[in-house]
Structure 1
């Protein structure tokens, strides 16, 4: 049975992506969460209510021992399942000007996005390489392409994910594994709820924030057979703000 692992799938973009992949591709969903079990259970319930199947898997993406232990334990209990799709979605923001940024705010943002990408992808891609099949989609950001003042840490983290996407795609292409990134702009979610939407949407040519579901549809396309010849790409979804 083919499965999809979505990191940080308890809320926002991760939840929307997990639900959409179950609907569109019939994948057995692994809903990863770090701290909010109730929210992860709500994601799983949303998958089930749309006719999908899955389970919750707990680990902090930035801690390699946790990632390896959780995924090894899951594999031992699920010999008939193959994680054919990985969506590296886990990420946080700790905004502030670099001159006053605490070291922890830099480290936490970098470790969850970049070290988390390494920890989870390195583990999951081993089986993809053996099976000569797989899809990896990394959730980057407009910040990683354009750079955003007050987000030097987040811009650095997402920029690193973009560069890693391009390099890894070249390493695994011969094994029929695609690696792409999606770079959302302003998306209505938990991460943007404290922003002034009325003011910021004036920066967007489409004059609105995007929805998590719109991002999920793009990820779903990249996971599909229709996207089999697309790899190493960064696809913007931002209403024209960076076109």
Structure 2
């Protein structure tokens, strides 16, 4: 097996525990990989502003793959080195579908997520995981009207997202979105839908970054658990699924590690990258 030179790590359900923590042992293993000269980066559906500060500031982490591959940044300069945005017209089509249902909608510009102020008090209705409530409150900017913000910005977005109160409505919205060829809907949570431009995903973005760094596909490892990690697992030379991963992700993986609450990422890095 080739030496691993680049590792892309999903956050929620993968690197972070159910309570959204980075364990001390996992942090230690990340540092060991970085000290060994391996490029380690988060590969997340979150915007840049949603990446925990302790990961942004971890010495040796140079890059961040955000919004499912729509933006890849050099953390040291916050310069965008890969950008694959959702055209404004396409974003509006997705939002019009979301508006038909009982949803909390979010839009993402320049690595920042925005939501409407009136939905903040209703977070428990839409974020079914209580461990996501504080993350949402502390990383989003709240505005009176998303459509007014869209008019002010007047440009392409990183992605759009909706959180659904009702799962039957989520399925109906999913069916509508998949009929629009220019959109790529994915779900990182059982109750959300994220929409990127067609062809945009974590996997192609990670491979593109590897090419820029002179790292071949076979030397790239990725870990994930959700629907938005499927392309990540398929594209990487070594795709690792968490024990808590979706069945399709497990089926596509080269290896299944333990769960995110059992430090599965740390174990996989030790096994394949550090070769302990």
Same fold (TM over 0.5): no
Q: Given the two structures, how large is their TM-score scaled by the length of structure 2?
A: 0.37
Which is greater in Rg?
Answer: 2
Name the one with the larger strand percent: 2
Q: Given the two structures, how large is their TM-score scaled by the length of structure 1?
A: 0.41
Name the one with the larger helix percent: 1
